[in-house]
Amino acid sequence: MPGAILENLSGRKLSILISLLLICQVVCFLIGGFIAPPPSHAERMLATQCLDQGNNSKNWFYSRGKGSCALFREYDKTSLDHRMQANNIVFVFQFPLPKDNMTHDYSRWQQNLIGVLEPEITYQPEAEMEQRITLTLNVKLGYRNKGDSDDAWKPLAASSDEKRILDCSITHKKPGYYYNCSDIPLLELGSLHHDFYLLNIRLPVDNDKQTNQGLGHVHGLWLVAIHQNGGFTKVWVSLKTVFFPIVVAIMIWFWQRVHQLSRSPALLEYMLLFLGGALTFLNVPLEYLTLYVDMPFMVLLGDIRQGIFYAVLLSFWLVFAGEHLMIQESAEQRTLKSYWKHLSAVAVGCFSLLVFDICERGSQLVNPFYSIWVTELGTNLALSFIILAGISAGVYFIFLVYRIWEVFYNISAKRAVLPSMSSARRLHYQGVIYRFKFLMLATVLCAAMTVVGFILGQVSEGHWKWDDDHELEFTSAFFTGVYGMWNIYIFALIVLYAPSHKQWPSETDVRGNSSEEIEFSRLATDPSEISSLTSFARKTAMD
């Protein structure tokens, strides 16, 4: 067997290849840091309080445009009792908000939207609020597009009663002082296919049904609308557009070289093909379709695509390390089933996150106001899945570090026999070991960056100044940098572990040499191995 390109590529060509890949990695970070805006943008808006004299929940109430609603403040509040105030007030959110006296609309590049409520509740001695209550919201969501009349609102989510847990506390109980209340997750839209959206919220009070009892005096409602930045989406999709054909082409090239060999593909070569396929599935720029077709399931599909990639990537790392440790088994015995114990944590973690995601985002395809966190049972169930996935991830990384340590220990033990070899064998294996260690360290770095990128994606945006003229967006830089790193790392693996065309001398060519050189030639051309490093490990183990 000619061996892998990693072992036979000249040092000069390997340096050039690594330098080019590092330049591409730096470019990916710089694109996110200097070109891409923050991944998301939050718009905070105060609800307009409209008066519904007929208490007709079928009507749409909107605050801007011809035929807008009658404002509640225009009426004498003292003539209405507390119950009438609550049942006849409609909290209206019409978004996006106008800016600089100009009407703005949503772009389909903005992809998705999350809505979070912030209630403003004031202390009133006659309506003192309980510390923890079940809040009932009557909500409905509508939309209209450019060219529609101001009152042409169409239902996107039918009117429904949604329950949320509200926790409030107050330090000084004085009239007019505000309670400190928890935020309320309200809705999530998987697409922003329309130009304008309208949200009507009622807080019904019913003594018979014990609805919203102990709520207190709601002075106002704020809505924080969080959507993906269109500029970030364009940069993200551009990276996908560039990486997608490159990865497909290198996979085809790799598989053609494997099939030119006289042996069947090894397990590691199959895993490289699966890894490239998972990355290709992640790279497909499906976001272009959302510009023409309403695809509210895109967020769920994106989570599934990323979950599949994570599962294959984590599985590959375990197999990649294990294939250089299973020196006691023949190549025919090494199958994916040999790693079922090792991959259990990956399977459990990915399955837990999949179930949680389907329960949450899958239900939101039918009802955007659905949330698994609204009940104690749902909260405990969701936390159980997340904790289980977190424990599985912790077990996985501990085991991966242990396997990598075993690989380095195994290689160090085998290096003790190098001085007894001939110069040809010793130089060959020294180069192979050095290159493999470098690749393993790159694997550890890739795993660490993947974890850091995932954690950073969960924290709020932060802005850092490079200098007076350039603002560096670290979150965007990590997103684009880690995404580019996945593509560059997998590209390098496929290239470096592709079969090389270089041939070692045959036994006929070395007939005049020593028996050790003939043995080295036979070992380097063993058709059952993907690389001579595994042959070296097995040979020294037998010795």
Whether the bond between 2 and the residue before it is cis, its omega within 30 degrees of 0, is: no
End-to-end CA distance of the chain: 22
**Can you tell me whether residue 386 is helix, strand or coil?**
helix
Distance of CA 373 to the CA centre of its chain: 21
Centre a 10 Å sphere on the Cβ of residue 307 and count the other Cβ atoms it contains.
18
To the nearest whole number, what is the mean pLDDT of the chain?
Answer: 78
Residue 180 has pLDDT above 70, yes or no: yes
Confidence of residue 437 (pLDDT cuts 50, 70, 90): confident
Q: How many Å apart are CA 210 and CA 217, to the nearest integer?
A: 16
Q: What is the pLDDT of residues 114-172, one digit of tens each?
A: 998 999 988 888 778 888 888 889 999 999 999 899 889 999 988 888 888 888 888 88
What are the DSSP calls for 435-466, one per residue? HHHHHHHHHHHHHHHHHHHHHHTTSPP--EES
pTM of the predicted model as reported, rounded to 2 decimal places = 0.82
More confident residue, 393 or 36: 36
Cα–Cα nearest to 136, from 155, 117, 115: 117
- Which two structure tokens, joined as six digits, stand for 68? 């807008």
What are the DSSP calls for 64-110, one per residue? SSTTPPPBGGGS-GGGS-HHHHHHTEEEEEEESPPBTTB-----GGG
Mean pLDDT of 43-52: 90
| pLDDT at residue 238, as a whole number | 95
Q: What is the pLDDT of residues 49-83, one digit of tens each?
A: 998 877 777 889 998 888 888 887 644 444 444 44
Q: How many Å apart are CA 435 and CA 210, to the nearest integer?
A: 71
Q: How many Å apart are CA 295 and CA 365, to the nearest integer?
A: 10
Q: How many Å apart are CA 426 and CA 419, to the nearest integer?
A: 7
- Which two structure tokens, joined as six digits, stand for 207? 């003594």
Confidence of residue 9 (pLDDT cuts 50, 70, 90): confident
What residues does 115 pair with on adjacent strands?
187, 225
Mean pLDDT of 277-300: 92
| pLDDT at residue 75, as a whole number | 45
Q: How many Å apart are CA 47 and CA 198, to the nearest integer?
A: 11
Q: What is the pLDDT of residues 16-40, one digit of tens each?
A: 988 898 899 889 988 988 888 888 8
Q: Helices 474-496 and 11-30, interaxial angle, to 10°?
A: 160
- Which two structure tokens, joined as six digits, stand for 497? 């572990």
- Domain ranges for the chain: 5-39+231-338+417-542, 40-228
Q: What is the pLDDT of residues 491-541, one digit of tens each?
A: 988 988 888 766 544 444 444 444 444 444 444 444 445 555 555 555 544
Confidence of residue 468 (pLDDT cuts 50, 70, 90): very low
Mean pLDDT of 335-363: 77
Residue 166: φ, ψ to 5°: -120, 120
Amino acid sitting at position 277? G
Q: Using CA of residue 263, residue 269, residue 271, residue 277, what is the dihedral sign?
A: negative
Cα–Cα nearest to 71, from 42, 39, 103, 47: 47
